Structure 1
Amino acid sequence: MARWIESWLPGAPAEAGGPYPGERLGLPAEGASSVAGLGRRFAALAIDWLLAYGIAALLAGPGAFGDPNLGWSVLGIWYVLTAVPVAVFGASAGMTALGIRVASLDSAAVVGVPRALLRTAMIALVLPALARDEDGRGWHDRATRTVVVRSR
């Protein structure tokens, strides 16, 4: 039984026998096309961030870790490495590795450039991504009418 305080928290687990994440969106409860869990999403973000960090360090050359602007370089590279593939393919490298993708709620084949740019910018702000609704969607997904689903 859930504690009383969990009932009003964003992303709180559903009551036993209640709706599962994604049911209101017409998604299955398990398997492909079901809502991806927070753990997979966080791991995909970490993979993308580590890729951006490695590329930024390579571009900065020797002494990269002493460069005070390395963090901004990592953020810029991460933004491009995430926004472009999500706009075109629906998934970044980290998402592809973990079997998740970004799906549009309006049944478009791809998310598209404007929504991918907005979604990625909001993820960079962190807080919108952590405040989730009962379907596991953060503010960035709600603003862009998207949902992260399992691809396998």
Structure 2
Amino acid sequence: MVDRKDIGSWLSGPDTSGISKYPGERLGLPEAGPGSIARAGRRILAICIDWGIALLISNFAFAGDSWATLAVFAVEQILLVGTLGYSIGHRIVSIHVLRLGGGPAGPLAALVRTLLLCLVIPAVIFDPDQRGLHDKAMNTVLVRM
């Protein structure tokens, strides 16, 4: 005979046993502090700072051409993330880009991440660990310093 316990109840809600408690838990990262996933506020502030810097450079050097602004932004991201692991905006808000194993992102990851970031869509589609498609594509993660 079928019992109510066998079929469940709408009062019990969905099964949440496979959901992590915080972003980065599935990746083995801490919940807070250094090494934890950089949350949306820091990420947005960092990209706004980087875009503002690119806009200032573009206004002075290229008369404010929007393609030049995008190019300056891309060059900044590729060079700085590829060599240092962070852009100017990342540094100001204390976050940096790492490979999931813990090593530096490297030039190739910085190049691919930046090209996808410039397309915008991969950056705004993210998983439960708050990794955008541009991070997932290169197996990188933005973490707090």
TM-score normalised by length of structure 2: 0.84
Indicate yes or no: 2:71 matched with 1:76.
Answer: yes
Q: Secondary structure of the equivalent of 1:132?
A: coil
Alignment map for 1:52-67 (pairs within 5 Å): 52-60=54-62, 64-65=63-64
Unmatched 5+ stretches in structure 1: 1-6, 8-13
Q: Distance in 2 between matches of 1:39 and 1:18?
A: 20
Q: Secondary structure of the equivalent of 2:142?
A: strand
Of the two structures, which has the highest relative contact order with CA contacts closer than 8 Å and spacing of 6 or more?
1
Measured after TM superposition, the shift of residue 107 of structure 1 is 2.8
* Percentage of identical aligned residues: 40
The residue that corresponds to 1:145 in the other structure is 139
TM-score normalised by length of structure 1: 0.80
The residue that corresponds to 1:3 in the other structure is none
Between Structure 1 and Structure 2, how many residues are aligned? 130
Unmatched 5+ stretches in structure 2: 1-13
AA partner of residue 94 (structure 1): G
AA partner of residue 25 (structure 1): L
Measured after TM superposition, the shift of residue 18 of structure 1 is 4.3
Alpha-carbon contact 2:79-2:107 (below 8 Å) kept: yes
Indicate yes or no: 2:91 matched with 1:91.
Answer: no
